[in-house]
Structure 1
Amino acid sequence: MRGASRAAETKVPRSTTRRAGRLLASRDPVTWPTFAKVSSRGTVPARVQIRPYWVRQRRNKNRREGTSMVDRFTDPLFTPTEVAQYLRIPQPTVYNWLGEGDTEHALVHKVAGQTRGHASVPFIALVEAYVLRALRELQLKKSQIRAAAEDVRREFNTPYALASKRIATDGIDIFIHHVDDDLVRAGDQQRPMREIIDEHLRYISWDASKDGFATQLRLRQFPDIAPVIIDPRFGWGAPIVERTKVPVRAVIDLFSAGESIDTVADEYGLTHDEVEAICQVALRAA
């Protein structure tokens, strides 16, 4: 793989393209995760990015010790830009929540010492930002969001309270305490705040313990016909199709390269409707 850049293009037998397409996913620490494009024509573009040094070191360490691949709390998986893209949050808001220039008052955790523009946000912090996004959509003011987050952390006695399973029960009561009215305008109608928060939190999966923390986040912009998740156990946190664990970026790249929806579906073991739904979301976001 490291010698891939020495050749303009490497021919691959057609029978191996599907297997190669699933193995060549690589993590780019600066931009969206990028993937080697493998088409039905059996070619692999020359440039294949190598995983960052910290990823290779942790992978080797975990293999020796038999531990899980990614630490949800401390491994920097996402850049602030990626958080903004995945959660559909304005980028300045993400930097504000991360405490850019004022780390003492940060609402979302980040890994210290990372170069600006590189991955600095762990998975748990991504979930924290998602919960704050829910409060933002409820039209809470910045001061109300900050007060609610601080109260939740104090009540649950953990700095990661926003990513705790208790947020879906006791946390909602705390959030409601910080609003003037428990009815919120959503679209053309008034809806109970509890109902709207429940709707947001159902996209989070938790571990089995009583005070369990988030293990998986489903991206709301993708429809039920093609659920897309972020699970730190797969693809270093890159969005993947829940059913097959295929990286979304790989699907979009192959379609963007000119392949038909049916060809992309065949390459990655997806249905026509799944590929179409994923590409439609990508086109709307472009």
Structure 2
Amino acid sequence: MSRVQRENDQLLGGFYTVSEAARLLGIGSRQRIYHWLQTSVDQPLIERDYKPINKTQELSFWDLIEVRFVDHFRNQGLSLQFLRKVANKAREEFGIQHPFALSKSKFLTDRKRIFQQTAEQEDEKKTLDILSGQYEMYETIEEALSRGVAFDPKTALAKQWKPFHEECPNVIVDPRFAYGHPVVGKKKIPTAALYRQWLSEERDIRRVSEWFGTTESAVEEAIAFETRLTV
């Protein structure tokens, strides 16, 4: 999906509030995400797809994937200032709005080079240790980030994500379905809808499957997925 297509039909881009993004990504504090989305700085960490309206923050699917990237590297101790500089340099070099949502298989070497150059310029010892450590920690982090993510072969941008790709392999987050909220099964039914119905039907999986015209296994997977999100 190109940026032109996104601008012509924003319904294809996915919509997430900060609370929804935090829940999906397992980030305990919404304030962390609000802080990362600040646009008042010269070098924004994430170049947003949607402008805030009346202070309401909405994220697109690509914004969500980039927040996931940032969260992972922040947990490794990298500073926001450093990541902002990396993001700005990567946007300039790649000529793309969302450099942290690009495929590892095509951009790993270039992205690592930008991390390396920026770390040397800023004398970021923590980052240099990650990049040059004997255990190839940077590659390990990138590998972890790519798990469960499918990329568009034409643009190399993320197009679909399975948050729990091993435990719930049929639950996907895809901006083409349900405004990007998690769906399951051939009918792409929102997991939240199945979960709520299950609770209201006294936890009767068979009745829920009949109500939505889907399989019991799809209902079970939706329940497992939503339960993991609430833990």
TM-score (norm 2): 0.73
Moved over 6 A (4+): none
Equivalent residue, structure 2, for 1:96? 35
Query: Equivalents in 1 of 2:146, 2:219: separation in Å?
Result: 26
Contact 1:255 / 1:261 at 8 angstroms: preserved in 2? yes
- When Rg is computed on C-alpha atoms for both structures, the one with the higher figure is 1
| Counterpart secondary structure, 2:161 | strand
Cα displacement string for residues 95-153 of structure 1 (whole angstroms, at most 9, x for unaligned residues): 111116x2644322142252333x62222212221221222233323233223322322
Q: Are 2:20 and 1:82 aligned? A: yes
Q: Find 1:202's aligned residue among 144, 147, 151.
A: 147
Change (3 A) 1:191 1:113: closer
Contact 2:171 / 2:182 at 8 angstroms: preserved in 1? yes
Equivalent residue, structure 1, for 2:51? 112
Report the alpha carbon displacement of residue 252 of structure 1 after superposing the two structures with TM: 0.8
Pairing 1:50-199 to 2, within 5 Å after superposition: 70-72=11-13, 77-89=15-27, 90-99=29-38, 102=40, 104-108=42-46, 109-117=48-56, 120-165=58-103, 166-175=106-115, 178=119, 179-182=127-130, 192-199=137-144
Query: Equivalents in 2 of 1:168, 1:133: separation in Å?
Result: 18
Change (3 A) 1:223 1:112: same
Query: Equivalents in 2 of 1:71, 1:103: separation in Å?
Result: 28
Query: Equivalents in 1 of 2:192, 2:86: separation in Å?
Result: 35
Equivalent residue, structure 1, for 2:193? 250
Q: Which runs of 5 or more residues in structure 2 are unaligned?
A: 120-126
Q: Which runs of 5 or more residues in structure 1 are unaligned?
A: 1-61, 185-189
Equivalent residue, structure 1, for 2:208? 264
Report the alpha carbon displacement of residue 194 of structure 1 after superposing the two structures with TM: 0.6
Report the alpha carbon displacement of residue 92 of structure 1 after superposing the two structures with TM: 0.8
| Counterpart secondary structure, 2:59 | coil
Identity percentage of aligned residues: 23
Change (3 A) 1:125 1:225: closer
Change (3 A) 1:145 1:231: same
Contact 1:98 / 1:106 at 8 angstroms: preserved in 2? yes
TM-score (norm 1): 0.61
Contact 1:176 / 1:182 at 8 angstroms: preserved in 2? no
Q: How many pairs does the alignment contain? A: 209
